[in-house]
């Protein structure tokens, strides 16, 4: 028997990566604006951003992502209300399928959030150029980069783009089986954690609320976030603490109390464990970006 292989079709091909940024803007931060001959997306992980695309201004709310097509002039401005965290990725692709993203502002679901996190993680495995360097014009590869990190980054980026297209209600190829029960459980638990962010909750309380056992709970969180449920809850607290610090409306002691910590020293230890910085060091690092 003679076998003839089938060459697999690529709907989206990523040719080059230009930048990957993860930035924690202070209120009022404004970029100078630019345009370039490659694609860029801006994802509001926390807070809100004012986006300019050609002659249009609009607010990019938390959990939304906007795509700038090649040669579209664009700018970003952190408004004075909510200091944002933002992920920005720019890349080149000549694939016809990319036309789907022209002028698009999309909602980011749990699947896409996980993929964006993986893109950033593999970027750090592959490149030494800092994530918060706004004026990067060339990436520097790590001398000791982890095997396959660039390939995985490209795969996750393609998977992210395809997931938006396949989940769009207007796309005929949408597959209902993509709806993931685990995503629904995670959304329920995330909402519960957010509602109790100023408290101390236990694994048993989370399991009781979500209607699942501890083994399943930890398996889901390990699969999606590579950490346990309580560790994820602590990360949520610290992310909110970082936002409060950037707001500059409360001191460190007040923020610790607002998040349910029994004392400032315990809060500072957890903050440093998550961020590798004390709250004071974090404030200094943020202010140095202005």
Which carries the bigger pLDDT value, residue 84 or residue 237? 237
Please tell me the predicted confidence (pLDDT) of residue 173: 38
Please tell me the predicted confidence (pLDDT) of residue 174: 36
Please tell me the predicted confidence (pLDDT) of residue 169: 63
Q: At which residue do the structure tokens 């060459």 appear?
A: 7
Please tell me the predicted confidence (pLDDT) of residue 163: 93
pLDDT tens per residue across span 131-141: 887 777 899 99
Please tell me the predicted confidence (pLDDT) of residue 289: 58
**Across all residues in the chain, what is the average pLDDT?**
87
**Alpha helix segments (H runs only) across the chain:** 110-126, 149-166, 181-195, 203-210, 214-225, 229-247, 252-258, 264-275, 279-287
Q: What pTM did the predictor assign? A: 0.63
How far, in Å, CA of 119 to CA of 106, rounded?
18
pLDDT tens per residue across span 150-201: 999 999 999 999 999 988 765 433 333 333 567 778 888 989 999 999 999 9
Please tell me the predicted confidence (pLDDT) of residue 96: 95
SS3 114: helix
Please tell me the predicted confidence (pLDDT) of residue 104: 87
Using CA atoms, how far residue 76 sits from 123, 237, 248, in Å, is 22, 26, 21
pLDDT tens per residue across span 85-120: 899 999 999 999 999 999 889 999 888 999 999 999
pLDDT band, very low/low/confident/very high, at 84 (cuts 50, 70, 90): confident
Is residue 126 scored above 90 in pLDDT? yes
């Amino acid at each position: 028997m003679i076998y003839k292989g089938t060459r697999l079709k690529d709907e989206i091909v990523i040719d080059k990566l230009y930048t990957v940024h993860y930035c924690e803007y202070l209120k009022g931060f404004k970029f100078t604006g630019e345009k370039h001959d490659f694609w860029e997306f801006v994802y509001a992980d926390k807070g809100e951003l004012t986006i300019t695309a050609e002659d249009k201004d609009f607010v990019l709310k938390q959990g939304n992502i906007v795509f700038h097509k090649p040669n579209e002039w664009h700018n970003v401005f952190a408004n004075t209300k909510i200091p944002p965290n933002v992920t920005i990725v720019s890349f080149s692709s000549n694939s016809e399928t990319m036309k789907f993203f022209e002028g698009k502002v999309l909602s980011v679901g749990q699947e896409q959030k996980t993929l964006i996190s993986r893109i950033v993680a593999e970027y750090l495995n592959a490149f030494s150029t800092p994530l918060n360097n706004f004026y990067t014009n060339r990436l520097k590869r790590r001398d000791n980069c982890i095997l396959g990190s660039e390939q995985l980054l490209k795969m996750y980026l393609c998977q992210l783009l395809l997931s938006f297209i396949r989940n769009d209600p207007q796309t005929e190829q949408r597959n209902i089986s993509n709806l993931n029960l685990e995503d629904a459980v995670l959304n329920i638990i995330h909402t519960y954690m957010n509602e109790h962010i100023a408290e101390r909750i236990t694994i048993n309380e989370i399991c009781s609320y979500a209607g699942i056992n501890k083994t399943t709970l930890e398996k889901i969180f390990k699969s999606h976030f590579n950490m346990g449920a309580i560790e994820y809850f602590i990360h949520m607290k610290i992310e909110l603490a970082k936002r409060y610090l950037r707001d500059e409306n409360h001191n460190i002691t007040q923020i610790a109390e607002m998040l349910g910590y029994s004392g400032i020293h315990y809060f500072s230890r957890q903050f440093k464990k998550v961020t590798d910085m004390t709250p004071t060091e974090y404030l200094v690092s943020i202010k140095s970006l202005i």
